[in-house]
Amino acid sequence: MILGSHVSLSGKKMLLGAAQEAVSYGANAMMIFTGAPQNTRRKTVDQMNISAGQTYIKEHGPQFIMGHAPYIINLGNTKRSEQYEFGIEFMKDEIQRCEALGITTLSFHPGAHVGLGADKAIHSIAHGLDEVLAATKNQVKIALETMAGKGTEVGTNFEQLAQIIDLTPHNEQLAITLDTCHASDAGYPIKDNFDEVLEEFDRIIGLDRLQMIHLNDSKNPQGSHKDRHTNIGFGTIGFQSLNYICHHPQLEKVPKIMETPYVLVDQDRKKSAAPYAAEIKMLTEQRFDPEMQEKLIIANS
């Protein structure tokens, strides 16, 4: 089982600190943003403490390093050509940063059509990605993420994602991130019939393209199009279904990354704690602990 979480690439330790954080959770995989997810300001690779981080990773793990592109890059929006071109150039640089950090797969929100229509957005996303992939020519995969369907998001079903791949000539390095919360919110029966979802994915896209799973519970019911993550076992998908996905024999080699929210442990001081060690323990032992959040509060009080 390959299981980990989002960790922070920040402070002076940068990659070293991110790897140490992942190991502290008992993770053998981790996912990092190369900078803040809400903006495109990035440090240079020589500021990311890569050598020390890679030395630690070789000695302690984690074995799998995944990445996530910032949320604000939208290759589906061509209303302002300068922003579209900036997104393409940013992604070219992002791939180079990923290669330097040892990231093998970069999860990427396909974008939103912002009123231009899904078909036009799909074509512009494919065109932009092709420019990125044609220019970079390395082994980092860009994994289009399944989306919940909030607003004018594109990539809310497998057919749209397959179309983006098909319309991208240099698509050898295109892959898919299946987010369990997003897919459920988009209408797929993640909770009740995951095998059916996986069969549909294989038929439309192909399991060989599935390179990452974002293992998240959802605050909202199937088909809600809300995109609200919650902790493992505390949402509408539930522990049993997420545990089944985590240990699924067809997904043994696919890294599962949790992006579940921190737990508030001190209301007065607004102090919160990462749930990932507890969630990894539950999934490793295949036993749900309904008191997980309460125990985190006690442990951090």
119 has binding-site annotation: no
145 has binding-site annotation: yes
* CB burial of residue 142 (10 Å; 0-12, 13-18, 19+): buried
208 has binding-site annotation: no
227 has binding-site annotation: yes
159 has binding-site annotation: no
179 has binding-site annotation: yes
127 has binding-site annotation: no
Q: Give the annotated binding-site residues for Zn(2+).
A: 68, 109, 145, 179, 182, 214, 227, 229, 259
Q: Give the annotated binding-site residues.
A: 68, 109, 145, 179, 182, 214, 227, 229, 259
